[in-house]
Amino acid sequence: MKTAIIIDSSAGIKDTENYKDLFLVPLMITTENGEQISDDENLSHEEFYKMNKQELLKTSQSIPGVMMGMWDKLLKDYDQVVCLLLSKGLSGQFNTFQMLAQEEEYLGKVFCVDTNGVSIVLKKEVLEAIKLRDEENKSGAEIKAILDSKNEQFNCFIIPKSLTQLVRGGRITKAAAAMAKLFKITPILRYDGTIDKETKTRTFKKAVEDSLDLLIKRTTTKNNNVYVSYSRCDDETMELVKNLLADKKLNVVMFEQLPNTIICHTGEETFAFAIFDE
């Protein structure tokens, strides 16, 4: 059985040609004048950061016609298609394509996984799906069932050092951001398929330390493999984070840039840390 895997750009993988039978249907980035830009390999990080600094960017789902067109194209050469898309807790992306996959021509051929993931969480699932397909010869239905059953087996925290983007997007008020800056307060956000406030602390360094301690404490398997993603920051901040990871004796498995579609909401100087129960 020949199975293709489709991802959207929230997994942070754009060089799909480096992976066997992996295809990208990008999410969309919308500028203030309404122009829609595909978040694909043609949009570089440099170009994205430049746009993001100049205006407030918004994100939207992959275009249904493009996704279904990809299904139709792939099903000419593949028996099945597995879609690993942005968490349903962050977007309607999964629900939209899960519904479309129930149409008669796709039933039993297109499988949308309830990933609960984004960025490093989703990328790990993508790599696992490829392994299940290529090394264990699992079918699309089996890959979906396995990943669906494991989609809560992680802990993840997000730390925005700068609150500028959260203010621009209306997620916190200017007054609250000013107060946080005055008292050097840094929030720790919990990611579990959705993003919510976990706690807050004084200074970015303490926030990183506390989030890593929480990850270690909450990991039931006592796993020390950590996955890290980040947005643009200065060298001093990057070195600080790397030193703190080393101090906690954590094994960094993945160290990746955050996807553009996440940076639209969190901004620069943001770090995410995840440990999986495995």
pLDDT in tens, 236-253: 999 999 999 999 999 999
Q: What number of other Cβ atoms are within 10 A of residue 200's Cβ?
A: 15
Which residues, other chains included, contact 88 with Cβ-Cβ below 8 Å and sequence gap of 6+?
Answer: 94, 95, 114, 116, 193
pTM: 0.92
Q: What confidence score (pLDDT) does residue 259 get?
A: 95
Which residues, other chains included, contact 87 with Cβ-Cβ below 8 Å and sequence gap of 6+?
Answer: 94, 115, 116, 117, 118, 122, 193, 194
Q: What confidence score (pLDDT) does residue 163 get?
A: 64
Q: What confidence score (pLDDT) does residue 222 get?
A: 80
Task: Note the helical H segments in the chain.
Answer: 45-54, 64-74, 93-100, 119-134, 140-149, 164-168, 174-182, 204-218, 235-247, 260-266
Distance of alpha carbon 57 from the chain centroid: 17
Domain ranges of the chain: 3-149, 154-276
Mean pLDDT per 10-residue run, the chain (278 residues)? Answer: 96 94 97 94 92 91 97 98 96 96 97 97 97 97 97 94 62 53 74 89 94 93 92 96 96 95 90 94
- Looking at residue 61, what DSSP letter applies? P
Query: Of 3.30.1180.10, 3.40.50.1370, 2.40.50.140, 1.20.1630.10, which CATH number belongs to 154-276?
Result: 3.30.1180.10
| Unique residue bearing structure tokens 């951001």 | 177
Residue 212: phi and psi, rounded to 5, are -65, -40
Rg for the chain (alpha carbons), in Å?
A: 19
- Domain spanning 3-149, CATH architecture: 3-Layer(aba) Sandwich (3.40)
